[in-house]
Structure 1
Amino acid sequence: MKISTPGRICLFGEHQDYLGLPVIAAAISRRISIDGDYRNDDKVVLHLPDLGLKEEFSLRDTYPYIVQRDYFRSTINILKRKGISFSKGFECVIHGNIPINSGTSSSSALIVSWAHFLDKMSDNPSNFSQKELGEIANAAEVLEFGEPGGMMDHYSTAIGNVIYLESTPVIKVETLTPKLGTFVLGDSLEPKDTLGILARCRYGMEDVIRKVKNYDPDFSIFTTPFEKAVDYKKELSEDEMSLLIANIEDRDILLEGKTLLTQSVNSPVNESFDTHFGGLLYKHYKNLRDHKRTSTPKIERMMNAALSAGALGGKINGSGGGGCMFAYAPTKAEEVAEAIEKEGGKSYIITVDSGTRIES
């Protein structure tokens, strides 16, 4: 049995899901696969040649966890609690071509693949839907270890294509099927500064929302118009005001992006659509760069080079402070990829891809 699952990029709503705001994400044509078969004992043997690692344990030895992020065991335990049973072990080889630790959800794709593989190879397969596999992976990777994290990565990699995800007041996932052209993913090869970025973008913004609501109880990050933000200028520092404006504008950019992507389903993609879409991505990027400060000088050089080579827009992807950016380049992908590499990045030409699937 061979299962593969894609990585993902966040098109709109970066650094907004933890505020309860929606996101739009796209699965990409870089994937992680698990190829395995039964053993004649209860052992789980996992070969990870890309990382030079091997993991081995018994199906009877899945708790307590050996390390903090013991995702292979935690996924088995989540499935067991759902009534899934395993009378035979497995031997698997895991391969992937998703950039690791760079904001493209390689770990979530791995756990979705593992959950999908385990369900199909169990004694009593439930044949979980893609959405359910995303929920299982989130439980195994986030909830089981009490870690912060939204559902975007797991739903996006499991369901595939383009999804719109709301988390407040209840989780709502909507699959979009826009006709999108080619992207170029650019890995800066710089380590991400996830904790530093979160300190500003999440905890800093949560403080801003508290201050504004104390001043104006009717304020809502979901509905307060952009024009009203100026009313709070006296209550906030210049830096706090910068965060507030960026988040309200990014909220509105996402809504405009959703309308555009929805309209494209029933009409052929054209130059006008591509230009509008690329412009929205870049508008979002400027807020991330200038106000949320998630970019780096190297990523800025990569972005500028991509735009000069014919990209229509793009943004930094993931938590930031390093990691990946991407550019929308429906007609100039090769030129954009080359330009990114000249600035010291590693480039990958990608398209929107399907979700987790059986390969063989």
Structure 2
Amino acid sequence: MGSADPGAARTTIRARAPLRLGLAGGGTDLSPYCEDFGGAVLNCTIDKYAYAFVSARNDDNVVFRAVDLGIEETFPLSAPSNGKLALHAGVYRHFVTKFADGIPFAATITTNVDAPAGSGLGSSSALVVALVDALRAYLDVPLGPYDVAHLAFFIERIDLGLAGGKQDQYASAFGGVNFIEFLSGDRVIVNPLRMPDAVLNEVETSIVVSFSGQSRQSAAIIDNQTAGMKSGTVRTLDALHQLKADAIDMKRALLQGKVDEMATILNRSWISKKATADAVTNPQLDALYEIGRRAGALGGKVSGAGGGGYMMFIVPPEERFRLVTALNEAGALATPVKFTALGCETWQVR
């Protein structure tokens, strides 16, 4: 795609990438399952974001800042090193190598995220998408949303070796409600779902998310799931086959506006999800699920790999206030959600 002249960019670039809710199929985007069998997920982006800001500097330093974590690291251009902010450094290094002729450029790269790490909302991958898109715009590199998503996946999963699947990067780059297929040969097909506003409003008004109060370390869970895939463990593979079937069924129910059926599929997926690895659930999550069901939820499951983070529930809109109240009284921060139609957005400030 050619290199760019970082000296030509003297404005501040801002990017925001939406977080996502995984409605069905999560786990089938992991390797080697998606290469061997083909994966499918249904997800939607919500109005929580990862932000990345890139500004030029007048000295010979590169500065990485994560204001939500209270971390700031400064490195000389002669030796930009690894520190605590591995995602910042990984994206920066890749752009220097691939798009700036290997010449480090002085910049301040600042980020923050609307949800804690380990939330199960794809926050880490959304942050990488925001960083990639911000540096793409800063260096004027011609990358489309498929390119941005693939590059974010490559940096996070291959370059940095962080465990996880592929759905988060594509959801964040494209935005909206998407049925995403993950095929052999590293092929990904994003299918945007279009539905009447009345259907979208009904589904949106029927969803409640609740933070369990504990962030989870997804790597151990994903490693456990991956080991089951590689060894051909029947319990793991059967559960993943069911999760993929649930994604297809959930897409059909969503397009038809059958919220009750979506809740049934959500419950079924939660059972299958728990069968993929022992650490997917714990007593706190099980208790939260039961509180939700007693307060009127028709269905629920954890968002993301499991072990903590956010749980999502489907509830009749008339019962939503009761559900939110019960979850909050139990100490789990519960809120409605707002869907977003746009993926990662980037703009410049002079």
TM-score, reference length from structure 2:
0.79
Give the total of aligned pairs. 317
Query: Which residue number corresponds to residue 120 of structure 2?
Result: 103
SS at match of 1:203: helix
Query: Partners in 1 of 2:63 and 2:85 — Cα distance?
Result: 18
SS at match of 1:5: strand
Cα distance change, pair 299–147 in 1 and its aligned pair in 2 (3 A): closer
Query: Which residue number corresponds to residue 51 of structure 1?
Result: 69
Cα distance change, pair 59–104 in 1 and its aligned pair in 2 (3 A): farther
- Identical counterparts, % of pairs: 22
SS at match of 1:17: coil
Query: Partners in 2 of 1:163 and 1:84 — Cα distance?
Result: 33
1:144 CA displacement: 0.9
Identify the match of residue 350 of structure 1 among 337, 343, 347. 337
1:54 CA displacement: 0.9
Query: Which residue number corresponds to residue 222 of structure 1?
Result: none
Cα distance change, pair 291–54 in 1 and its aligned pair in 2 (3 A): closer
Query: Which residue number corresponds to residue 323 of structure 1?
Result: 309
Partner amino acid, structure 2, of 1:181: E
Partner amino acid, structure 1, of 2:260: T
Gaps of at least 5 residues in structure 1 are 210-239
Cα distance change, pair 114–195 in 1 and its aligned pair in 2 (3 A): closer
Query: Which residue number corresponds to residue 280 of structure 1?
Result: 265
Identify the match of residue 157 of structure 2 among 125, 129, 142. 142
Partner amino acid, structure 2, of 1:246: A
**Does structure 2 conserve the Cα–Cα contact (< 8 Å) formed by 1:181 and 1:328?**
no
Query: Which residue number corresponds to residue 23 of structure 2?
Result: 11
Cα distance change, pair 343–289 in 1 and its aligned pair in 2 (3 A): farther
Partner amino acid, structure 2, of 1:350: V
Partner amino acid, structure 2, of 1:102: S
Query: Partners in 2 of 1:248 and 1:132 — Cα distance?
Result: 28
Query: Partners in 2 of 1:70 and 1:195 — Cα distance?
Result: 16
Partner amino acid, structure 2, of 1:188: S
* 1:146-186 deviation line (CA, Å, top 9, x unaligned): 44432212111121112223222241222224524143222
* 1:160-215 deviation line (CA, Å, top 9, x unaligned): 11222322224122222452414322221234253553454332343235xxxxxx
Gaps of at least 5 residues in structure 2 are 1-12
Query: Which residue number corresponds to residue 224 of structure 1?
Result: none
**Does structure 2 conserve the Cα–Cα contact (< 8 Å) formed by 1:32 and 1:106?**
yes
The 5 Å alignment of 1:200-219 reads 200-208=224-232
Query: Partners in 2 of 1:196 and 1:126 — Cα distance?
Result: 36
1:22 CA displacement: 2.0
1:152 aligns with 2:138: no
Cα distance change, pair 359–301 in 1 and its aligned pair in 2 (3 A): farther
Query: Partners in 2 of 1:24 and 1:130 — Cα distance?
Result: 18
SS at match of 1:32: strand
TM-score, reference length from structure 1:
0.77
Identify the match of residue 79 of structure 2 among 48, 61, 78. 61
Larger displacement relative to structure 2 (315-324 or 37-46): 37-46
Partner amino acid, structure 1, of 2:148: L
Once superposed, which parts of structure 1, at least 4 consecutive aligned residues long, lie more than 6 Å away?
none
Query: Which residue number corresponds to residue 183 of structure 2?
Result: 168
**Does structure 2 conserve the Cα–Cα contact (< 8 Å) formed by 1:99 and 1:187?**
no
Query: Partners in 2 of 1:87 and 1:243 — Cα distance?
Result: 45
Query: Which residue number corresponds to residue 7 of structure 2?
Result: none
**Does structure 1 conserve the Cα–Cα contact (< 8 Å) formed by 2:15 and 2:346?**
yes
SS at match of 2:232: helix
CA RMSD of aligned residues (A): 2.8
SS at match of 2:155: helix
1:88 CA displacement: 5.4
**Does structure 1 conserve the Cα–Cα contact (< 8 Å) formed by 2:164 and 2:219?**
no
